[in-house]
Amino acid sequence: MATYLLLIYGDEQRWQSMTPDERAEIDAGHRRFRERAGSSVLASGELEPSSTATTLRARSAGAAPSDGPSVTDGPFLESKEVVGGFYVVDVPDLDAALDLAAGLAEATHDHSGVQVQPLVDHG
């Protein structure tokens, strides 16, 4: 078995201006995912908008770690495309993970996509 992180990327503006029909289509995709994946889903979540994110990083280039991080409003990377949600699944192989991901509506909408990436197996 192998564990994969499925990151759902998309254009945040488009997600915020979805019609009820589009929303329903996305919801249906996630219900289908749940039904098919069953107990292989280890974790999952839908993220609040990126404007609600807070980022910690070094205060400046060359700052000493003992100075502690700066705390700023906003995501680590400013981009039109953001992560809107994620799954962590434990499945036999990549084909199984891709097959699950392919059932999500976000995998076929023109502004979004699903990135499937294995987690390191620490044994």
Partner 1 sequence: MDVRDEVEAAHRADWAAVVAATARVTRDLDLAEECAQDAFAKALETWPRTGVPDLPRGWLVTVAGNRARDLLRRRAAWRRALPLLVVDDVAPGPDALDEPPVVPDDTLRLVFTCCHPALARDAQVALTLRLVCGLATADVARAFLVREATMAARLTRAKKKIAAARIPYRVPSRADLPARVGAVCEVLHLVFTAGHTAPSGERLVRTELVDAAVRHARTLRRLLPGDRQVAGLLALFLLVDARRAAREDDDGRLVLLADQDRGLWRRDQVEEGAALLAQALGGPEPHRYAVEAAIAAVHAEAPTWENTDWDEIVGLYDVLLARWPSPVVALNRAVALGLRDGPRAGLAALDAVAGESALAGYGYLSAARADFLRRLGLWAAARAAYEEALVLTANASERRFLEERLRDVEGRLV
Name which of 58 and 94 has its Cβ closer to partner 1.
94
Residue 121 interacting with partner 1 (CB under 8 A): yes
Residue 67 interacting with partner 1 (CB under 8 A): no
C-beta separation of 118 from 7 below 8 A? no
Phi, psi of 36 (to 5 degrees): -75, -35
**In angstroms, rounded to a whole number, what is the distance separating the alpha carbons of residues 104 and 85?**
12
Selected binder of partner 1 within 45, 49, 69, 118 (CB under 8 A): 118
Please choose, out of 14-22, 50-58, 59-67, 86-94, the segment that lies near partner 1 by the rule CB under 8 A.
Answer: 86-94
**In angstroms, rounded to a whole number, what is the distance separating the alpha carbons of residues 123 and 106?**
32
Window 88-117: residues binding partner 1 (CB under 8 A): 92-95, 98, 117
CB-facing half-sphere around the CA of 110: CA atoms within 13 A: 0
Shortest Cβ 5–partner 1 spacing (Å) = 12
Shortest Cβ 91–partner 1 spacing (Å) = 9
C-beta separation of 120 from 4 below 8 A? no
Please give the residue ranges that form the binding site for partner 1 (CB under 8 A): 2, 92-95, 98, 117-118, 121, 123
